[in-house]
């Protein structure tokens, strides 16, 4: 049994989802898990003997230009480490968590190890900015073990940051018992005009990197050819503009915005097709969740998505930014029910075989064992 501290961004977002689901699975495997963040992570629904939460509450002070969260986090991590005898601090997202974990380890009396998981923009975008790069690289190099959520991210991070240490690949995972093919006719009827109308779904935090406007623009052709409805789940900075764009394009009545949903599984289960258009995606958690729910996907050929989506087998990969190709790929699958269903089934099989919690979490346990200098846990 290990005592594991986990720090992450607790709000909606793939890295927070992975950290929360990992913590819960580790607790089920008999480990003691301590979440150390500013809020209970989204998806951590129950605290108890094996799942603890320690809040980080940085003190604001008028002289500070901004409240130094990283110092408060490092302080809390050090306190929790000493009080509960943590073996490992697992930092999800290099910025600023691996730096806080490093500071905590250096300031503690005990021998705690630091494991860092890279999630994407932490090393590929924000971490490359000259204002952060030096310390991000240092904090990753100083970790006792480092993983990335895809081969693409591991290689790109090593190259972009010039890392001095190997980065292991541990793909993200999904609870395939929860995210399962399950059509709920009542829910479907609430969102669409019943079976007559095909449903294309997109789930994201609607940030510019997701290119949601491409999805709305492509839908003009998609709905003209198939009468399908686009259902967008999630909230974010581009939601209002995307809503306006749908009206401007004359397809407002064929695009439904459902906003943030705590549990997206029942919605995904209703979809006929899942669509992503991101310009970058180190992995693409919602794409995996859709595959696990038995939904064929159309996704961009970027980052880690080709490791997840088998082109022509579980979905179609398209060129990011090519709205016409995005529309064509969707129309082709919406008009070919047999092919779409075969892809949906293949996606489900792939999720169960390669990306299920039970397959991937033991790899994290082995990762911690290596950080601790042990062969196995």
- Please give the residue ranges that form the binding site for ligand GMT (CB under 6 A): 9, 13-16, 18, 119-121, 149, 172, 209, 280-285, 303
Angle at 131 between CA 125 and CA 137, to 5 degrees: 65
1, with CB counted inside 10 A (0-12, 13-18, 19+), is exposed
Dihedrals φ, ψ of 244, to 5°? -60, -45
- Compute the least distance from the CB of residue 81 to ligand GMT, in Å: 24
Q: Which is nearer to ligand GMT, 16 or 294 (CB)?
A: 16
**CA atoms of 249 and 369, how far apart (whole Å):** 55
Nearer to ligand GMT, 283 or 368 (CB): 283
- What is the closest distance, in whole angstroms, from the C-beta atom of residue 12 to ligand GMT in the complex? 8
Q: How far is the CB of 119 from ligand GMT (least distance, A)?
A: 4
Residue 72 or 209: the one with the smaller Cβ distance to ligand GMT is 209
CB of 50 or CB of 171, closer to ligand GMT: 171
At closest approach, how far in Å is the CB of 121 from ligand GMT?
Answer: 3
Nearest to 355, CA basis, from 317, 315, 308 = 308
Phi, psi of 299, rounded to the nearest 5 degrees: -140, 160
* Residue 64 burial (10 A CB sphere; 0-12, 13-18, 19+): exposed
Nearer to ligand GMT, 119 or 350 (CB): 119
Q: Using the minimum distance from each CB to ligand GMT, give the nearer residue, 255 or 285.
A: 285
Cβ burial, residue 377 (10 Å; 0-12/13-18/19+): middle
What's CA 271's distance to the chain center, in Å? 20
Q: Which is nearer to ligand GMT, 178 or 183 (CB)?
A: 178
Q: Of the two residues 84 and 213, which places its CB atom closer to ligand GMT in the complex?
A: 213
CB contact at 8 A, 137 and 123: no
Cβ 37 to ligand GMT shortest distance, Å: 13
Q: How far is the CB of 35 from ligand GMT (least distance, A)?
A: 15
The one-character DSSP state at 10 is -
How far is residue 326's CA from residue 255's CA, in Å, rounded to a whole number? Answer: 16
HSE-up of 102 (CA within 13 Å, CB side)?
19
* Distance in Å, CB of 189 to ligand GMT, minimum: 31
Question: Min. distance of Cβ 335 from ligand GMT in angstroms?
Answer: 29
- Nearer to ligand GMT (CB atom), residue 81 or residue 318: 318
Closer by beta carbon to ligand GMT, 223 or else 314: 314
Smallest distance, ligand GMT to C-beta of residue 123, A: 10
Strands 51-55 and 88-92, how do they pair?
unpaired
Q: How many C-beta atoms lie closer than 10 Å to residue 319's C-beta?
A: 11
The helix/strand count (H/E) of the chain reads as 15, 13
CB of 93 to ligand GMT, least distance (A): 6
Cβ count near 28 (within 10 Å): 13
Using the CB atoms, write b or e for 336-349: b if 16+ within 10 Å: eeeebeebbebbbe
């Amino acid at each position: 049994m290990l005592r594991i501290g986990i720090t992450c961004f607790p709000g909606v977002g793939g890295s927070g989802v992975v950290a929360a689901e990992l913590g819960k699975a580790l607790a089920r495997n008999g480990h003691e898990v301590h979440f150390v963040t500013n809020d209970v992570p989204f998806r951590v629904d129950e605290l108890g003997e094996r799942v603890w939460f320690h809040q980080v509450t940085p003190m604001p002070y008028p002289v500070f230009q901004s409240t130094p969260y990283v110092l408060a986090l490092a302080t809390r991590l050090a306190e929790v480490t000493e009080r509960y005898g943590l073996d490992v601090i697992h930092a999800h997202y290099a910025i600023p968590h691996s730096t806080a974990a490093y500071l905590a380890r250096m300031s503690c009396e005990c021998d705690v190890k630091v494991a860092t998981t890279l999630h994407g923009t932490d090393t590929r975008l924000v971490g490359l900015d000259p204002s952060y790069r030096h310390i991000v690289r240092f904090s990753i190099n100083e970790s006792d073990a480092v993983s990335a959520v895809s081969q693409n991210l591991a290689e790109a991070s090593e190259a972009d940051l010039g890392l001095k240490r190997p980065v292991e690949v541990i793909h993200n995972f999904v609870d395939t018992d929860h995210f399962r093919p399950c059509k709920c006719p009542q829910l479907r009827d609430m969102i669409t005009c019943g079976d007559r109308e095909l449903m294309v779904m997109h789930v994201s935090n609607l940030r510019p990197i997701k290119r949601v406007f491409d999805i709305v623009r492509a839908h003009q052709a998609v709905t003209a050819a198939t009468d399908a409805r686009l259902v967008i789940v999630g909230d974010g900075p581009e939601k209002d503009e995307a809503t306006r764009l749908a009206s401007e394009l004359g397809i407002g009545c064929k695009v439904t915005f459902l906003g943030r949903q705590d549990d997206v599984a029942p919605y995904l289960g209703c979809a006929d097709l899942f669509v992503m258009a991101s310009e970058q995606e180190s992995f693409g958690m919602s794409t995996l969740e859709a595959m696990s729910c038995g939904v064929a996907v159309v996704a961009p050929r970027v980052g880690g998505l080709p490791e997840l989506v088998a082109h022509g087998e579980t979905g179609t990969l398209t060129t990011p930014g090519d709205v016409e190709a995005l529309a064509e790929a969707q129309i082709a699958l919406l008009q070919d029910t047999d092919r779409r269903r075969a892809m949906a089934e293949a996606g489900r099989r792939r999720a169960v075989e390669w990306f299920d919690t039970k397959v991937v979490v033991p790899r994290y346990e082995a990762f911690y064992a290596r950080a601790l200098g042990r062969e196995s846990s």
